[in-house]
Structure 1
Amino acid sequence: MQLESILQQRFGYSSFRPGQKEVIEQILKGEDVIALLPTGMGKSMCYQLPGYVLKKAVLVISPLLSLMQDQVDQMKLFNEKRVVALNSFLNVEEKKRVINELEQFRFIFISPEMLVQPQVQQKLSRMELALIVVDEAHCISQWGFDFRPDYLRIGEMLTTPRPPILALSATATNKVLEDIEHYLKMKEPYKYMHSVDRPNIHLSKMSFSNRDEKLQWILQHITETAGPGIIYTQSRMKTQNISELLLQQGISAASYHGGMDYLDRQFVQQQFIEGTLDWIVATNAFGMGIHKQDVRQVIHESIPSNMANYMQEIGRAGRDGQDAVAILLYSERDEELAKFVGIDDLPTDYHVDIFEDYLKVGQAPTQMLDRGEISETAFRVLNYWMGQKQPNEVKQIFQNMKSEKMHSVEEVMKLITSSACMRETLVNYFGQTLDERPKQCCINCGLQLEDLLKPREIIITPNVNMTWKDRIGNILTKKS
C-alpha cells in the first residue's frame, strides 16, 4: 500500500508536509534518521505512520511529562487506544501493571529517567520494537551534560540488535547534531535538515538604561497591543511580580515556572491555550509541547542564556502561519544575570573533592544532599560524571562547561549589539544559510513594529496620579 493511502485512511490527510515522507521512507528501510523539522511541521507523523506500517510497538523517549501526556491525549482523540505514557504520574500499582502489559501497546511514551530503570530495561529487552524515537533530541546535548544526565545514557540502554532510531528536533547546531549521533550510537543516520527560519516571526530588540525603564515599557506596551503573548524572564520571582503588575492594569495574565505545583502549571497552561489568559509570564520551563497556534508576541524581558533557547522560545509564536513578533529586551547587567543563571547549578571543584572524600571513608556521597552541601540537580550531574571519569578530569569537564556557557551568553549578546540582520545571525548560528529575507524582517532591516501589532481592544487607563515607577515600587515593596 502506498504511503499516501495510509496517510489518507488513517489520518485524513491527502498529502505529506515537507520532510515527512522522506523521513518515513528511510525508517521503513531500516535506517537511523535525524530529522530537523520546525514546530508545526508534523514531527509526530514521522513515527506514528511507521508504527501502523510495521505493526510493532514504537518506543518514544520524551523529555517532559506534560509533553508526553499531551501527545498521548492527542493520539487517543484519533481513536488510538493502544497508547500509554510510562512516567511518574502513575502510582506504584499502575506502573507495575503497565510494565507487565507493555507489549500490548502500539505506542509507548517514556522519559529518559524511566528508561534506565532495571525493570523497564528487562521488559523492553524481551520486546520486538518497530522504532525507537527520541523526541526533542536536542535535549541530549542541551540538557544531558549539565541538567539531566540520563539523556547521555539512552544509547547505552538500547539493546543490540535494535530497530531504527529516529531523533527529532526543531533546532540544532552542528555540535548538537554530532552529540545526538554519538550518544544515541546511530549508524550513519540519514539527515533531513529543514531551515530553522520562521519567516512569519519578525524580530526586534530594544535597549534600556536600567531595569525599571524596561519594566515600564513592558507594562505600557502590553496595555496598548494585542496578544496572546509570552514574556520570558530569568527568575521565578520576576514571573510573579510582572504578572501581578499586568493584572493590576486589567490584563489577563498569569505566571509560570518550574517551582509551581504540577497541577497549577497545567491549569495555567490550559487557560492560556483556551484563551482565558492573554499573557503568560514564564521562565524557560514554559513552552515545549504547548500547542497554541495564535501566539502573536514573544517578549524576552531579559536575554536568554543561549541562542538555542532563544530560537526555541520565539518559535512558540505564529504557529498558525500568521505574522508574529519576537522582541528581545536588554538593560545593563542582563548579561551578568544570564551568565549566573547558566552556571548556577554546575558542580564546583569543591563538590568534586567532597564527593571523593565520602568515597574514601566508605560513605555514600548522597550525604551531600542530606547535609545541604549541593543541589539535587548539581548532584545528579556530579554523580554521573564521577562514574565516568577521574576527579581531575571531572573538574576539567565542569570548567569547560562553565566556559561554554559564558560563551553562549556572549553569542546572544551579538544579537543585541550587532547591526547585522538578526534573522541571518540566527540562521547562521545553526549552520544554515538564509535564502531570502521576508518583508519586515527585523529591526536592523527596517522593521516597523506598529505595522504588525494590533491595538488591544480594551485598554484600562491607569491612575494618572500615580507614575509607573510608583506602581512598580508598590508591588515590589509588597513582595519583599
Structure 2
Amino acid sequence: MNLEATLQQFFGYETFRPGQREIIEALVNGQDVVAILPTGMGKSLCYQLPGYLFSKPVLIISPLLSLMQDQVDQLKQRGEKRVVALNSFLSPEQKRYALHFLHEYRFIFVSPEMLLQPQVKARLEQVELSLIVADEAHCISQWGFDFRPDYLRIGEVLPQINRPPILALSATATDSVIEDIQHYLMMHDPFRYMHSVNRENIYLVKKAFSHKEEKINWIIEHVTSTSGPGIIYTQSRAKTEALSLHLLERNIAAAAYHAGKDTQDRQFIQQQFLTGKLEWIVATNAFGMGVHKDNVRQIIHETMPSTLSNYMQEIGRAGRDGQDAVAFLLHAEGDEQYAKFIGTEDLPKEIHIDRFMQVIASGEQPNVLLARGELTEVSFRVLNYWLQQESPEQVKKRMQEMQFKKYAEVNLVLKLIENTDCMREQVVNYFGQKLFQKQQNCCSNCGINVAPFLKPREERQETQMTTWQQRLQQILVRN
C-alpha cells in the first residue's frame, strides 16, 4: 500500500509530518493507537487518510459542536461530500435522513452524548466501520469524571466483536490520562506515539503583580501597544465582558467569548477572529478547541489556569504556523484560591448526594432537583452517573478525592509560577517527558527578552471595523 501516493492524491502533500506515517501504518495493520501530537501537527490527517484507504465509514467522536462543525466544513471545502455531523444542529428530518443513509458516508462525526442516544446507537450497530476515532481524547479523563460522564460510557457503546481499530488523538496527555483513555475506550494493547509537548517557538513569560487590578491595567497597556492576533484567557465570564469592553473603548478589535453566549453569537465571534476582523479574543476556556488559526502571536493568561494540562492546551493555540509566539502567565496573590474555587464549584457536596438519594427514596425523579435549583446541570450529570456505579458513601469519597486532586493540580501551576527552575522543563516533565536541549530564548526563569518577538501595534482604519462593531454591539445588548 503506497501511503505517499494516497497522501499526494487526496491531500496534495508529498511527505508526512512526524508521527503521521507511523500512526497510519499501525491503523492499517489493525492496531489500536494512542497518538499525542501537538496542535498544528496534523492530527486530523491520521484518520482522514485511512478514510480514503478503506471503503467503510470512519466514526469520529468529537467533544464540541464548534470543533465538529469546523472539521466538517474543512472536509467539505476540500471537496468531500460524504461527511455528516450528528448533532443538535440537525432538524428531526435531517437526522432521520442522515441515520437512514449512514452507511453511505465516509466520515461520521458524533458527540459522546449523541452516541449514547438509543436511535443513534442502534443504527451504528448496523453499520460496518473501518475506524473509530476519539478526538481530543484527553477529555475522556479530564471531563468524563466530573463534567461530562457520558465520556466514560463510550467504550460500552463501541462494538467489541470484530470492531475496527480505535484511534485516540490528543495534543497533551499525562501518563495517568493515557491510562484512563485506554481503559475507558477498552483499547487492545495500543500502539503509542508520543511527540514532545515542547513547542520551541512559544516563549514562556510569567509576571507577578501586587494587586489584581494591576494585571488588568498591564493587559490594556500591553495589548494597546503590541500586535496580535491574540487570546486572553480569564476564569470569569463577567471578566471577559469587562476586559473586552476596555479594549473596544481603545479602538482595539476585541470580543468576549464564553459558554453563556448564544451559539450563533459564539460562531460569529469565532469566525470574525479566524478571518482577521477581530484581533483579540477575551475568553474563558470555552474558546480554543478546534479553532484553527495559524497566526496567533500571543496568549495571555489573566489569571492562572486550574491545571498544567489546560495551560499547555491553551498556549498551544499560538504559533501553529511555526513562527514566534509569546505566552504570558500573570499572577497576583489570591489567584490560586480562585482557581481552586472555579475547579471545584460544580463538584457535588455530601448534602447534594444525600438529597439525591432522598428524592429517589421518595419516588420522585431526581431531575426535580434541577428544576428546583438545588443542583447545577453539571452536578446533576455527575451524580446521575456515579450513583449508578457506586454506593452513596463511595461517591462521597470519590467527590472528596476529586476535590483534593483538583487542589493538587492548582498547586502544580502555582509551583510553576513561584519556582525558579526552567518553566519549559517543568511543564515538559509534568507530561512524563524530558527536555534534552535548552534553547537560547526559553522562559522568564532562564532569562528572556521578548521584545524581538512582539511587533508594535498598528492602528486599524475605522472603516474596517464598522461592520463587526455594529454586530458586536447587538451581541452586547443581548447579553
Interval containing the TM-score (normalised by the shorter chain): over 0.9
1:210-229 pair list within 5 angstroms: 210-229=211-230
2:300 and 2:45 mapped to 1: Cα distance? 31
Does residue 258 of structure 1 match 2:263?
Answer: no
Aligned twin of 1:62: 62
Does residue 81 of structure 1 match 2:81?
Answer: yes
Structure 1, unaligned stretches of length 5 or more?
461-480
Q: Secondary structure at the match of 2:448?
A: coil
1:34 and 1:450 mapped to 2: Cα distance? 39
1:166-177 pair list within 5 angstroms: 166-177=167-178
Amino acid at match of 2:441: Q
Does residue 329 of structure 1 match 2:330?
Answer: yes
Q: Secondary structure at the match of 1:444?
A: coil
Amino acid at match of 1:198: R
1:276: how far off? 0.8
Aligned twin of 2:205: 204
Aligned twin of 1:29: 29
Aligned twin of 1:301: 302
Amino acid at match of 2:6: I
1:377: how far off? 1.0
Contact kept in structure 2, 1:229 and 1:295, CA below 8 Å: yes
Deviations 1:15-52 (A, max 9, x none): 11100000000101111000000111111111111111
Deviations 1:104-163 (A, max 9, x none): 111000000000011111111111100000000000001000110000000011112111
1:10: how far off? 1.3
Amino acid at match of 1:317: A
1:437: how far off? 2.1
2:453 and 2:88 mapped to 1: Cα distance? 43
Deviations 1:160-186 (A, max 9, x none): 211110000000000100000000000
1:452 and 1:8 mapped to 2: Cα distance? 35
Deviations 1:374-420 (A, max 9, x none): 00111001100001000000001100000000111000001110000
Range with bigger deviation, 88-97 or 403-412:
88-97
Deviations 1:75-110 (A, max 9, x none): 111111100000011122211221111111110000
1:102 and 1:173 mapped to 2: Cα distance? 35
Deviations 1:178-221 (A, max 9, x none): 00000000011000000001000000000100011111111111
1:459: how far off? 9.4
1:131-150 pair list within 5 angstroms: 131-150=131-150
1:451: how far off? 2.4
Query: What percent identity do the matched residue pairs reach?
Result: 62
Amino acid at match of 1:2: N
1:420 and 1:232 mapped to 2: Cα distance? 24
Amino acid at match of 1:235: S
Amino acid at match of 2:214: E
1:328 and 1:135 mapped to 2: Cα distance? 27
Deviations 1:46-74 (A, max 9, x none): 11111111211000000000110110111
Q: Secondary structure at the match of 1:255?
A: strand
Aligned twin of 1:466: none
Range with bigger deviation, 434-443 or 83-92:
434-443
2:121 and 2:275 mapped to 1: Cα distance? 39
Relative distance call for 1:459 and 1:104 in structure 2 (3 A) is closer
Q: Secondary structure at the match of 2:445?
A: helix
1:396 and 1:190 mapped to 2: Cα distance? 34
Aligned twin of 1:48: 48
Deviations 1:324-373 (A, max 9, x none): 00000001111111000000111111111011111112211111111111
Q: Secondary structure at the match of 2:389?
A: coil
Aligned twin of 2:474: none
Aligned residues: 460
Q: Secondary structure at the match of 1:419?
A: coil
1:58 and 1:19 mapped to 2: Cα distance? 20
Give the structure-1-normalised TM-score. Answer: 0.95
Does residue 355 of structure 1 match 2:356?
Answer: yes
Contact kept in structure 2, 1:223 and 1:459, CA below 8 Å: no
Moved over 3 A (4+): none
Deviations 1:296-319 (A, max 9, x none): 100000000111100000001001
Aligned twin of 1:182: 183
Amino acid at match of 1:349: E
1:61 and 1:70 mapped to 2: Cα distance? 14
Q: Secondary structure at the match of 1:80?
A: coil
Aligned twin of 2:373: 372
Structure 2, unaligned stretches of length 5 or more?
462-479
Amino acid at match of 1:55: S
Q: Secondary structure at the match of 2:85?
A: strand
Amino acid at match of 1:32: D
2:106 and 2:252 mapped to 1: Cα distance? 44
Range with bigger deviation, 290-299 or 437-446:
437-446
1:214 and 1:383 mapped to 2: Cα distance? 40
Aligned twin of 1:155: 155
1:56 and 1:139 mapped to 2: Cα distance? 27
1:239: how far off? 0.2
1:277 and 1:267 mapped to 2: Cα distance? 11
2:180 and 2:347 mapped to 1: Cα distance? 20
1:85 and 1:405 mapped to 2: Cα distance? 33
Q: Secondary structure at the match of 1:133?
A: strand
Aligned twin of 1:430: 431
Aligned twin of 1:39: 39
Amino acid at match of 2:89: F
1:458: how far off? 2.8
Does residue 108 of structure 1 match 2:108?
Answer: yes
Give the structure-2-normalised TM-score. Answer: 0.95
